[in-house]
Structure 1
Amino acid sequence: MMLLDAWHYILAHPAQFSRALGVHIALSASALMLAALISIPAGIAVARRGGLSLAVVNAANVGRTLPSLAVLALVMPLLGTGFAPALFALTLLALPPIVTHTIVGMRGVDADVVDAAVGMGMTRSTLLRQVELPMALPVIFAGLRTAAVQVISGAVLAAFIGGGGLGDFITAGIAMMAIPQLLVGAIPVSVLALGTDFLFGALQRRMTPQGLRTA
């Protein structure tokens, strides 16, 4: 019955729902893209520097323990409210898993393969493009997969700082004790998170060499 009421609410407010869904997707996709553009090059740069890479991984692990709402609250005094501070906060949330997996993936490349490529006369840039990155890509993509799900879920909390998105329905539903309106936000977010996890998982499996795939 509540699901039916939620569906009727969407039918009665199609423009409002479409706008919130669009903001949620734009916010999540933008944060993931920015985090990837920062984290992947940074992870590659420090991966072969033992002490520095360990320090970065430890810092990233500390960052992963911060609650999403706490990160959003911390940026409010600096950036105010709205889409931009929500984007900044969600980008921060996405950084740790991507940079950690990038470092792990790069450090996991077989040293014998690297030595053989160097022996064939490959330059450092060619080695990175043709050997190291392709071999590390499945692990890097696992970090993107984790970050994507975290960002989609965390974007719900953007409603608390005026960032918009599907979280608006959830906060309004809680405030008014209107469960159908809460479900209008909660169900699409869950579907987005599950769908994204499935899509990234399928892409990750395609990038993994046949002999390393698991069921």
Structure 2
Amino acid sequence: MGSGSLLEQIIQYFQTNSGQYWQYVGQHIILTVVTLVISMIIALPLGYIGSRIKPVAQFCVMFAQLLRIIPSLALLFLLIPFIGTGVVPALIALIVLALPPLLINTILGFNEVSPLYKEVGIALGMDQRQLRRQIEIPLALPYILNGIKLALVEIIASATLATYIGAGGLGTLIFTGLGLYDMSYVVIGAVSVAILSLLAMISFDFLIRKVQKHDRTNYSI
């Protein structure tokens, strides 16, 4: 198949199936956002507790390392007998993949806050809640955002596998293309996932730089 004919097939797909394409994009984004929100609700408080209590931190790191060695596809198939197919098992598998970077970076972020800043806060009469809100969280935020970025990219890429169990998304295009030996579907799906991942990375890198600049301006001692 020549590149010209492949390009023509891609153009033809968008001319005839643009509605279907945006439906897949929407499914992929919704699955990604829901996964990320649930993962953050679990990981951020646990990471903060881990930064304060060493045994919790050790457990979180061990747990995160264990989760990293479980292949997402294997996890999807393991969940099918218990939960069936569809969005729920896909969500569980994706949450498992998103937790390690969120947990580790949250613990790291709070551990990296210098005691000197806390001493200054206490000297200014801050209580624990004020210290957490005005010093610890702002200074830990670049690390936390980096964890969110890594988790988000992981989710976007791995959500393509959700197609295997009927959760939709851009993986539908990739696996349809593989099944039909039609590379135009594969290219559209793969490039779309790559663009979403790239946009997520660029957005969070910009946000992290802004937060770091803000921290340098407000917390220089």
Pairwise same-fold verdict (TM > 0.5): yes
Partners of 2:118 and 2:144 in 1: how far apart?
18
Partners of 2:147 and 2:191 in 1: how far apart?
24
Q: Which amino acid aligns with 2:122?
A: V
Partners of 2:110 and 2:130 in 1: how far apart?
15
Partner of 2:37: 33
Partner of 2:171: 167
Partners of 1:3 and 1:197 in 2: how far apart?
27
Q: How many residues align?
A: 212
Partner of 2:219: none
Partners of 1:47 and 1:181 in 2: how far apart?
45
Partners of 2:159 and 2:29 in 1: how far apart?
9
Q: Deviations over 1:63-115 (max 9, x none)?
A: 12322212222222221111122122212211111111000000110011112
Check 1:186–1:132 CA distance in 2 against 1; reply closer, same or farther (3 A cut).
same
The partner residue of 2:197 within 190, 193, 199 is 193
1:11 aligns with 2:15: yes
Shift of 1:182: 1.2
SS at match of 1:209: helix
1:177 aligns with 2:181: yes
Q: Which amino acid aligns with 1:3?
A: L
1:49 aligns with 2:40: no
SS at match of 1:208: helix
1:97 aligns with 2:115: no
Structure 2 unmatched ranges of 5 or more: 217-221
The partner residue of 2:74 within 63, 70, 77 is 70
Partners of 1:173 and 1:98 in 2: how far apart?
33
1:131 aligns with 2:132: no
Q: Deviations over 1:129-177 (max 9, x none)?
A: 1100000000000000000000000000000011100101111111111
1:116 aligns with 2:120: yes
Check 1:199–1:4 CA distance in 2 against 1; reply closer, same or farther (3 A cut).
farther
**Identity of paired residues, percent?**
34
Does the CA contact (< 8 Å) of 1:172 and 1:181 recur in 2? Answer: yes
Q: Which amino acid aligns with 1:78?
A: F
Partner of 2:83: 79
| Root mean square deviation of aligned Cα | 1.5
Does the CA contact (< 8 Å) of 1:64 and 1:97 recur in 2? Answer: no
Shift of 1:13: 0.9
Partners of 1:55 and 1:88 in 2: how far apart?
20
Does the CA contact (< 8 Å) of 1:7 and 1:184 recur in 2? Answer: no
4+ residue segments displaced more than 6 Å: none
Structure 1 unmatched ranges of 5 or more: none
SS at match of 2:52: coil
Does the CA contact (< 8 Å) of 1:106 and 1:133 recur in 2? Answer: yes
Partner of 2:149: 145
